[in-house]
Structure 1
Amino acid sequence: MVANTALRLRMAERRMTKPELACEVNAEIEALTGKLGTVSERTVHNWLTCQTRWPPEKMRLALAAVFRCTPEELGFVPTGRARSTTEEDVRRRDFIAAAGGTAVAALADTAAAAPHRIGITDIQQLQARFAEVIASDHRHGGRRSIETRAGQLADEALALQERGTATQRIRAELYASAASFMSSAMWAAIDGRRFDSALQHHQKAAALAAMSGDSSIQFRIWSHAGSLYRHLRRPGDALAANDVARNLPVARRDPLFASLGHARHAAIHGLTGDTNAVRRSLGHAQEALDRADPTASRPLWITSFYDQSELDSLALAAYLSAGSWENAEARAHRCIALRRSAMQRSQAITTVRLAHAQLGQGDLEPAVATAMSVPAEVSAHPRVVGMLTAFGTKLHDLAAGSTPARLWTEYAHDTWRTTA
């Protein structure tokens, strides 16, 4: 079967599927004529297989707008009738008159004269930058530079709205990208203990996510809000915010999202000391995680961190807050064994929590050895510093003057002096 290689390559460059191209072309036809086009997946298939070698005029104009090139450059070949200049001009004038305008005439005369078209390539570039922010957060986390950069990228995504034309779907993607960046700025502020900034970022992120209509990014933002209020030790607000996330369509549709929602609920219940509620939520989280399809397509931000080890990490946080030391230690060991190597900061946080769990059981020497195993380059992280400081305070409250307490004091002094 003969194939339209030129069109196929253009679609491949944008990673565009047949249904996506049909949607874009129909939107362009609506913008030109006021009536939604009728292009279907089958129509696109016919173009790709050369069963349709020269689409109707409206479709050619719409294709030119989508790809910003001529129909011939897309691999289409005029038929014998179409080569008649007189007939072509008559049809073109009729179409322009029906569409009511000079804007269509300009588009028909030359695709290069059209305004910049925001398309899937622009979205993919934003998504690549978002992946870089996620990777930086996993390596470092909490840094003000990550927060600032994520905020700048959100502004860049919004600025694209003003620099060109786009379909409704692409505009929604732009809002979702901006919301994604703001959610990362929010999390960096939470992780860096800049809670006032995190609250401000949440307001902007939530508004952008609502405009995008993307329930997966809404889930991330409200789930982060639950974590923010948990760190502020406001369990009532934390549960309410996390409930917003858990009731979104994506959490009802995808067990992985549901699992994360339940696991974070367990961590919040830990603040109240309700171990029964902790166990119930963790049970729901595990059951949902076991049902989740590992091959399903999901946003990078959740697939890059949420798995069994993260569920165990949240269980550790829950049991630690509730004072259930043995359960906390068991979850910590499993979390450390399963943790992905790239998540250095998360591994450090889990290690310090393990030290706290051991200290809670009166195992002073193992607790100090565990706390001292945190790499010096990660121990300077604001969140880790706070947890290690709290560890030292508890250790001295329990056993001031003991050999483990003296050892820890010397180690902390030498380590933080070196990394300061």
Structure 2
Amino acid sequence: MDTTRNTVLEAWMTEHGYSSNSLAEAVNRAIERLTGRPGGLDGSSVRAWKAGRVTWPKSAARKALEDVTGLPAVALGFVPRGRPSSTPAPPQQEDPDMKRRTLVGGIAAAAAAAAAAAPGTASPRRIGMSDVNRLNKRFAEIIASDHRHGGQLGIEQRAAALADEALNLQNAGSATQRVRSNLYASAAAFRSSAMWAAIDGRRYDVAKAHMREAQALAEMSGDQAIKFRIWSHAGTMYRHMGRPADAFAANDVARNLHLTRRDPLFASLGLARQGAIHGAAQDRTGTRRAFEQAQDAMLRADPADYRPVWMLAFYDQAELDSLALSAHLALGDYSTAEYHAHRCLSALRPHMIRSRAITTTRLAHAQLAQGAPDAATATAMKVPAEAATQHARVTRMLQEFGAALRATAPGSSSAQTWTEHTATWRMAA
């Protein structure tokens, strides 16, 4: 079949930094916003558009593409069915909706040109992917700071300020739909980091306020990954608050996103966090089943698949074992908890400083509960003073450890050693 390449679409994609795969993903997200169901396009679909094998996409894909680009399909080089590409269509054959969109687009373009040409009128700023990329670098810095320190008010405040910065860019100039969606996703990502810092610092009322704003921003972005992060964080928050029913409900929202059906690693994280909630709810069978399924999903995940920086930075075998440790501690299954603690500590990456402090503290609890106060005390003393005194979650767990040590081994050398050790923290503070 004789086809003519759609060089107009190719030029638009080059200008705006889209590959065939990334444009397909953007159009799929737009289809889901329009229809409530994810689109089924892939890179080969877009390549068929560029090659001219498909000259007029189906209605849902066409409308979604128009939403992504901000242009009518005919302005992207597509030709309505029945219209030869080399000759203009007779007026009576024009699609009325397309004619209206083209007319409106022409009026808008003329108005913009007139405004730009007016004496003394500055051209509006063009917001582009370079602005988004700059924000993404700042987001990576927030993630790194969280893994070093965790739960700090300063991290929460910086993340919230960057969320506002991303939103302010929406009104700073003109942008394509793709850029605007990415700005909303960036704002949601920063707000979710503020939410997590507040959760980690046990500032739950503040965390809930960040959560509500993050959820609204994520809906406007259409980004499945950030929606998953926010709802999964909400499940963790309610688990820490001792509200397992709410934790299950929030985590189920994350697990039911179609992203978890596309990517086994997201499915694995959702299941592992579900297992931790089952542990808090004293459901041994549910805990075992969830972690078995989480492990299976992790083994099926393709490490070459694209994933956001926050996911790559923390979820791996060590984190799965960390969640299993938390679940089995809650169940009172201390030997299994200790097993997962050692597995987690042996696999933790160097940048996971906060996670190492939490896991070490939980290991000390598991050892003490098995009647080994000397080993437990030696383990607890490995927690760095900074984490012990400045991370709210670690501080509370170590206070609970000290109380349990004094209750189970009063007057012992271990209790005396622990008392002297914690005194050095107070003097250094």
TM-score category of the 2 structures, normalised to the smaller one: 0.7 to 0.9
**1:262 aligned partner:** 271
Deviation at 1:412, TM superposition (A): 1.1
**2:87 aligned partner:** none
TM-score between the two structures when normalised by the length of structure 1: 0.77
Q: Given the superposition, is the C-alpha separation of residues 106 and 349 from structure 1 closer, same or farther in structure 2, using an over 3 Å criterion? A: same
The SS at the match of 1:100 is helix
Given that 1:313 and 1:335 are in contact with CA atoms closer than 8 Å, whether structure 2 keeps it comes out as: yes
The answer to whether structure 1 residue 373 and structure 2 residue 382 are counterparts is yes
Deviation at 1:368, TM superposition (A): 0.3
- 1:146 pairs, out of 130, 145, 155, with 155
Superposed, which structure 2 residues align to 1:172-321 within 5 Å?
172-321=181-330
The SS at the match of 2:314 is coil
Deviation at 1:271, TM superposition (A): 1.1
The answer to whether structure 1 residue 354 and structure 2 residue 356 are counterparts is no
Measure the CA separation in 2 of the matches of 1:315 and 1:221. 21
Measure the CA separation in 1 of the matches of 2:427 and 2:294. 41
Given that 1:262 and 1:284 are in contact with CA atoms closer than 8 Å, whether structure 2 keeps it comes out as: yes
Given that 2:147 and 2:352 are in contact with CA atoms closer than 8 Å, whether structure 1 keeps it comes out as: yes
Shift >2 Å, 4+ stretches? 14-24, 40-46, 95-98, 100-110
Task: Look up the equivalent residue of 1:99 and give its one-letter code.
Answer: G
Deviation at 1:272, TM superposition (A): 1.8
The answer to whether structure 1 residue 99 and structure 2 residue 106 are counterparts is yes
Given that 2:229 and 2:254 are in contact with CA atoms closer than 8 Å, whether structure 1 keeps it comes out as: yes
**2:354 aligned partner:** 345
The answer to whether structure 1 residue 133 and structure 2 residue 142 are counterparts is yes
Deviation at 1:399, TM superposition (A): 1.4
- 1:398 pairs, out of 408, 420, 428, with 408
The SS at the match of 1:373 is coil
Superposed, which structure 2 residues align to 1:147-162 within 5 Å?
147-162=156-171
Corresponding residue pairs, total: 350
TM-score between the two structures when normalised by the length of structure 2: 0.76
**1:89 aligned partner:** none
The answer to whether structure 1 residue 330 and structure 2 residue 332 are counterparts is no
Q: Given the superposition, is the C-alpha separation of residues 335 and 97 from structure 1 closer, same or farther in structure 2, using an over 3 Å criterion? A: closer
Q: Given the superposition, is the C-alpha separation of residues 41 and 109 from structure 1 closer, same or farther in structure 2, using an over 3 Å criterion? A: farther
Percent identity reads 54
Measure the CA separation in 1 of the matches of 2:243 and 2:252. 14
Measure the CA separation in 1 of the matches of 2:104 and 2:209. 50
Deviation at 1:22, TM superposition (A): 11
Given that 1:364 and 1:404 are in contact with CA atoms closer than 8 Å, whether structure 2 keeps it comes out as: yes
Q: Given the superposition, is the C-alpha separation of residues 118 and 367 from structure 1 closer, same or farther in structure 2, using an over 3 Å criterion? A: same
The SS at the match of 2:411 is coil
Measure the CA separation in 2 of the matches of 1:169 and 1:147. 27
**2:19 aligned partner:** 17
Q: Given the superposition, is the C-alpha separation of residues 154 and 360 from structure 1 closer, same or farther in structure 2, using an over 3 Å criterion? A: same
Point out where structure 2 has 5 or more consecutive residues left out of the alignment.
1-9, 27-45, 53-68, 72-101
**2:427 aligned partner:** 417
Deviation at 1:169, TM superposition (A): 2.1
Measure the CA separation in 2 of the matches of 1:286 and 1:169. 35
Give the RMSD, CA atoms, in angstroms.
Answer: 2.9
